[in-house]
Amino acid sequence: MKRLLLLLLLLVLSYSLEAQTTKIWVVRHAEKNLDNSSDKDPALTSAGEERALALAKYLKGEKMAALFSTDYKRTKGTLAPLAAAQNLPIHLYKSTAYQALADTILNTYKGKNIVICGHSNRLLGIIAAFNAKSNIKEITEDEYSHIFLIELDGDRVKLEEGHYGKL
């Protein structure tokens, strides 16, 4: 009887530890309108809107706990279809505050699924704030399809790099 109880306890404990994996998808905003070079906050193009829909479709099977975006039309627009599909608000973060963002997620959303939308020159810094290391050295201004999945489980950090939408 003691063995059975111990086995049951170990199973419950292993399940609760498994449930603590935090998954964080990091994406760049979708294609932005470049028609007006003086516009510092351009909206998405039609291709960008299609990519935003592709992101929602790509993540359809994942239940998100929170969505994070910088305070720009293009980043919020990229997350808008996903936010609508999952009935979630979009939380704003400061684009250069990588560690503050990571700390907020690690302290508030442990064991949950999160999406962060940022900018080409900021994504690798966000990834590094979670102690993950990308093989990509730079994301250029014309690259929009990258998607990174950071999985955190205790001290284990795993990074997967992929693409979504049209390449």
pLDDT tens digit sequence for 110-138: 999 999 999 999 999 999 999 999 999 99
> What pLDDT is stored for residue 113 in this prediction?
98
What would the pLDDT profile of 16-54 be if each residue is shown by its tens digit? 545 599 999 999 999 999 999 999 999 999 999 999 999
Strand order in the sheet with 22-28: 90-92, 66-69, 113-118, 22-28, 146-153, 156-163
Indicate the pLDDT class of residue 3, thresholds 50, 70 and 90.
low
> What pLDDT is stored for residue 167 in this prediction?
84
Per the prediction, the chain carries an average pLDDT of 92
> What pLDDT is stored for residue 52 in this prediction?
98
Average pLDDT (69-97) is 98
